[in-house]
């Protein structure tokens, strides 16, 4: 086949001119669906960040009895450190606990009431995966359900931790499903629009095949068209998303940072997630345009 | 030399319709052949098999000595460039002028622009439409539209021209003009096969007639007429 760029580009753009309505429909479909996908992605990312940050605050506090020996404390510390779930163990002695307590309650009446040091020494344990908190807590228990010798109490928010984990798990699944559904809807919509524009020109394709145009020759203008529509639509969606995030979403994220101290957010976070979303949308738009036109051609006119 | 040869060709469509039953037939280079028979006798199937629009069920078809049944899909366009086809419904593109419709056939097979500019007016002159090059199909009469479609089929000077009921939509006088044109193309050396059930045309031309009925050849006659 002789490659004739002037023919292909000319053919692509002259059909874009002729079928402006078709072109407009395809581009706006791509733009709107990708915009919604992008918007949801930002939302989902931020919600996941908040949930992850809340989860990472889940810790175990293991309070020791006052009569425990230094050897027991060292033994226990080494034992805890050897568990693979554990990320970090901090020992807080009775004195440090009192210091901390005094600092936190400076100026309060309570301090005057305290005599001696009623606070216990403790281990604060941070886990690599907070979901395992219950498993780890159980290691401080005997089979009979009491704490092992030398341990007064283990606290890890028994009541809310399980709920939090089930909520994050559900939220994650739902978000994933919504994004998948939106993507599917986008693909189906874009595919149908491109298919219609191909259908509108089936006569032209029939003639081309009749006079011996190679399949590639028939396909290339349509593939260019699909690619161009996907590209143009995704660029428009990125522009819309840019304005939405810079004038609206950014305020929400500021509030989240101020109140919840969550760092890894889509727009304001240190990872520039928003740029990846923009790039992803453009790539996605081009791919959808490319594959929709390719598939529609194969499926509906067999070229 | 045999231009077209059917060897034991059977065609059964997906819905189990038997269109052709064990057909054997040869058409020599430069021949003009009518394929006649009632609707559904298999005339159009022969045309479609020749341009490989549909595959054969069994048997083999040779064009210029080459078996086209085992032709790779990528080679089918090359086959079609050597076979001009004309149809009852013209298959012209409504948004292109007569010139552009013919030029399109050359563009899509990658002919350079300067060749197109020379060849298209030549062939439009051959079909007698040099003065209507810039008319759109809806501005042309049915006969003129069929001339454009013949020009398109012939512009690439294919050795074979197939015509499937080319006069089916035309009145007798216009049909006669189209037949003269096809005869001229045949005289240049092109092998022409034309499916038709137009009695008058077949009788007036006195060319070879192959008659089909229910997918079988019931008559193959040199210088024949439509009926016995």
The pLDDT of B56-84, averaged and rounded, is 93
Most confident region among A115-129, A284-298, B2-16 by mean pLDDT: B2-16
Which one has a higher pLDDT value, A181 or B12? Answer: B12
Each residue of A204-238: pLDDT tens digit?
Answer: 888 888 888 888 888 888 888 889 989 999 999 99
A36, A185: one domain: yes
A chain contacts of residue B73, beta-carbon cutoff 8 Å: 215
A27, A136: one domain: no
Q: Is the pLDDT of residue A17 over 50?
A: yes
Q: Is the pLDDT of residue A302 over 70?
A: no
Chain A nearest CA to B221, separation (Å): 30
Q: Is the pLDDT of residue A1 over 50?
A: no
pLDDT of A92 reads 87
A274, A169: one domain: yes
Boundary of a domain, candidates A156, A175, A204: A156
Boundary of a domain, candidates A105, A133, A156: A156
A292, A241: one domain: yes
Chain A nearest CA to B210, separation (Å): 25
pLDDT-above-70 percentage for chain A:
92
Chain B nearest CA to A298, separation (Å): 14
Query: How many residue contacts between A and B have a Cβ separation below 8 Å?
Result: 53
Which of B51, B109, B152 lies nearest to residue A213, judging by beta carbons? B109
Question: How far apart, in whole angstroms, are the C-alpha atoms of residue A119 and residue A100?
Answer: 10
A chain contacts of residue B104, beta-carbon cutoff 8 Å: 207-208, 211
Average pLDDT, chain A: 83
Structure confidence at residue A175 as a pLDDT band (50, 70, 90): confident
Q: The pTM is what?
A: 0.68
Interface with A, mutate which of B108, B110, B159 (most A CBs under 10 A): B108
At A98, which CATH number?
Answer: 3.30.70.3040
Q: Is the pLDDT of residue A102 over 70?
A: yes
A262, A209: one domain: yes
Residue of A nearest to B90 (CA): A207
A170, A249: one domain: yes
Each residue of B190-219: pLDDT tens digit?
Answer: 999 999 988 889 998 899 999 999 999 999
B chain contacts of residue A208, beta-carbon cutoff 8 Å: 104, 108
Count how many domains chain A has.
Answer: 2
A86, A234: one domain: no
Chain B nearest CA to A164, separation (Å): 60
**Beta carbons within 8 Å of B225's beta carbon, 6+ residues apart:** B202, B203, B206, B209
Per residue, the 3-state secondary structure of chain B, as one string, reads CEEEEEEEEEEECCCCCEEEEEEEEEEECCCEEEEECCCCCCHHHHHHHHCCCCCCCEEEEEECCEECCCCCHHHHHHHHHCEEEEECCCCCCCCCCHHHHHHHHHHCCCCCHHHHHHHHHHHHHHCCCHHHCCCCHHHCCHHHHHHHHHHHHHCCCCCEEEEECCCCCCCHHHHHHHHHHHHHHHHCCCEEEEEECCHHHHHHHCCEEEEEECCEEEEEECCCCCCC
Which one has a higher pLDDT value, B212 or A7? Answer: B212
Which one has a higher pLDDT value, A270 or B213? Answer: B213
A chain contacts of residue B115, beta-carbon cutoff 8 Å: none
CB contact under 8 Å between B156 and A211, yes or no, is yes
Q: Which residues pair with B9 in a beta bridge?
A: B23
Boundary of a domain, candidates A156, A173, A206: A156
A44, A185: one domain: yes
Structure confidence at residue A295 as a pLDDT band (50, 70, 90): confident
Angle at B215 between CA B209 and CA B217, to 5 degrees: 35
The pLDDT of B156-175, averaged and rounded, is 93
The pLDDT of A273-277, averaged and rounded, is 92
Q: Is the pLDDT of residue A49 over 80?
A: yes
Which one has a higher pLDDT value, A67 or B167? Answer: B167
pLDDT-above-90 percentage for chain B:
81
Each residue of B24-65: pLDDT tens digit?
Answer: 999 999 999 999 998 889 999 999 999 999 999 999 999 999
Q: Which domain holds residue A179?
A: 5-54+164-301
A33, A88: one domain: no
Chain B nearest CA to A27, separation (Å): 24
Structure confidence at residue A76 as a pLDDT band (50, 70, 90): confident
Q: Is the pLDDT of residue A111 over 80?
A: no
A89, A139: one domain: yes
Q: Is the pLDDT of residue B69 over 80?
A: yes
A47, A63: one domain: no
Is there a contact between B83 and B192 (Cβ–Cβ < 8 Å)?
no
pLDDT of B137 reads 95
pLDDT of A223 reads 87
The pLDDT of A291-299, averaged and rounded, is 84
The pLDDT of A144-164, averaged and rounded, is 79
Q: Which residues of A touch B (CB under 8 A)?
A: 1-2, 4, 7, 18, 203-204, 206-215, 217-218
pLDDT of A18 reads 64
Structure confidence at residue A3 as a pLDDT band (50, 70, 90): low
Most confident region among A6-15, A134-143, A285-294, B127-136 by mean pLDDT: B127-136
A41, A12: one domain: yes
pLDDT of A164 reads 78
Residue of B nearest to A209 (CA): B77
């Amino acid at each position: 086949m002789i490659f004739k760029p002037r023919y292909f580009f000319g053919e692509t753009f002259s059909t874009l001119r002729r079928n402006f309505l078709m072109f407009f429909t395809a581009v706006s479909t791509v733009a709107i669906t990708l915009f919604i996908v992008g918007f949801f992605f930002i939302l989902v990312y931020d919600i996941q960040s908040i949930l992850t940050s809340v989860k990472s605050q889940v810790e175990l506090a293991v309070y020791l009895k006052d009569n425990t020996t230094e050897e027991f404390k060292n033994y226990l510390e080494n034992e805890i450190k050897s568990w693979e779930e554990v990320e970090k163990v901090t020992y807080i002695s009775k004195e440090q606990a009192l210091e901390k307590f005094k600092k936190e309650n400076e100026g309060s009446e309570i301090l005057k009431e305290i005599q001696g040091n009623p606070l216990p020494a403790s281990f604060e344990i941070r886990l690599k995966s907070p979901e395992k908190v219950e498993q780890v807590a159980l290691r401080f228990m005997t089979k009979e359900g009491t704490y092992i010798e030398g341990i007064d109490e283990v606290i890890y928010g028994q009541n809310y931790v399980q709920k939090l984990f089930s909520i994050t798990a559900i939220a994650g699944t739902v978000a994933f499903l919504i994004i998948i559904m939106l993507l599917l809807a986008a693909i189906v919509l874009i595919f149908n629009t491109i298919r219609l524009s191909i259908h509108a020109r089936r006569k032209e394709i029939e003639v081309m095949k009749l006079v011996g145009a190679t399949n590639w020759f028939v396909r290339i203008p349509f593939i260019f068209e699909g690619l161009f529509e996907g590209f143009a639509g995704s660029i428009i969606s990125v522009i819309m998303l840019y304005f939405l995030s810079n004038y609206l979403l950014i305020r929400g994220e500021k509030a989240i940072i101020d109140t919840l101290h969550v760092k890894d957010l889509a727009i304001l976070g240190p990872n520039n997630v928003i740029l990846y979303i923009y790039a992803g949308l453009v790539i996605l738009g081009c791919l959808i345009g490319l594959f929709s036109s390719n598939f529609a051609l194969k499926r509906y006119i067999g070229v | 030399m045999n231009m077209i040869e059917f060897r034991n060709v059977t065609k059964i469509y997906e819905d189990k319709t038997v269109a052709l039953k064990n057909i054997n037939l040869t058409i020599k280079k430069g021949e003009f052949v009518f394929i006649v028979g009632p609707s559904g006798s298999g005339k159009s199937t022969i045309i479609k098999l020749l341009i490989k629009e549909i595959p054969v069920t069994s048997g083999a078809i040779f064009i210029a000595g080459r078996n086209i049944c085992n032709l790779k899909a990528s080679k089918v366009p090359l086959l079609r460039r050597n076979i001009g086809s004309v149809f009852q419904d013209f298959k012209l593109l409504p948004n292109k002028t007569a010139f552009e419709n013919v030029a399109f056939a050359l563009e899509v097979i990658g002919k350079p622009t300067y060749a197109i500019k020379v060849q298209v007016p030549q062939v439009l002159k051959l079909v007698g439409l040099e003065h209507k090059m810039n008319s759109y199909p809806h501005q042309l009469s049915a006969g003129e539209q069929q001339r454009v479609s013949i020009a398109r089929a012939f512009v690439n000077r294919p050795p074979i021209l197939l015509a499937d009921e080319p006069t089916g939509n035309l009145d007798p006088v216009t049909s006669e003009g189209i037949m003269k044109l096809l005869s001229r193309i045949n005289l240049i050396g092109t092998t022409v096969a034309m499916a038709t059930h137009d009695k008058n045309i077949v009788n007036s031309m006195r060319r070879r007639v192959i008659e089909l009925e229910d997918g079988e050849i019931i008559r193959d006659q040199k210088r024949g007429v439509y009926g016995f």
